[in-house]
Amino acid sequence: MSRKLTDLNPVSRITIGAVGPPGQRMFLLQASQSNSTVTLKLEKEQARILASSTIELLEELDQKYPRTFSKVELPLSSDLMIREPVEPEFVIGQIGLGYDQEEDHVVLVVQEIELEDSTPAIARFWATRAQMKAMCDHTMEIIDQGRSICPLCDRPIDPNGHFCPKENGHEKVPWQ
């Protein structure tokens, strides 16, 4: 079987967003190049780890290869919003980050969750440091808009009531 490979080099936009109400949100990674848009599904925790790992990589790159950013390089806030199509092409399993020093682009490589008897698809996205920084900042804002966390059990509080294991599930926690 041949592996499906998607290459967007460079992207015109890259973002992570969520659709749906808190507690039922679906997180999406979306990248575009010209008229081509790729939408992929990922988990909230994958989005959080990707954002924090990318920030660490960008800090390392700023130390090794200092640059100055101009306002022109920063993506517009509208470029950070999820657009049609919102139907994901695949669910992300593995995520990797790299750096193309010659082009000064961060390379994001994602691989589809491996399913039995199929070869996972791979997508690679080349983006500027400014695009990746904006994506990370936006991702953390989206994550912070989710459900509040129970101070007793550190789990998300369900808007319809939260049965906290620390309360042995007998009472709904009063803060919601």
Phi and psi at 67, nearest 5°, equal -145, 160
- Residue-wise pLDDT for 47-97, tens only, equals 999 999 999 999 999 999 887 655 546 666 777 899 998 999 999 999 999
| pTM recorded for the entire structure | 0.82
Interatomic CA distance for residues 67 and 65, integer angstroms: 6
Interatomic CA distance for residues 173 and 157, integer angstroms: 9
Which domains are seen in the chain, by residue range?
5-145 (3.30.2450), 150-176 (no CATH)
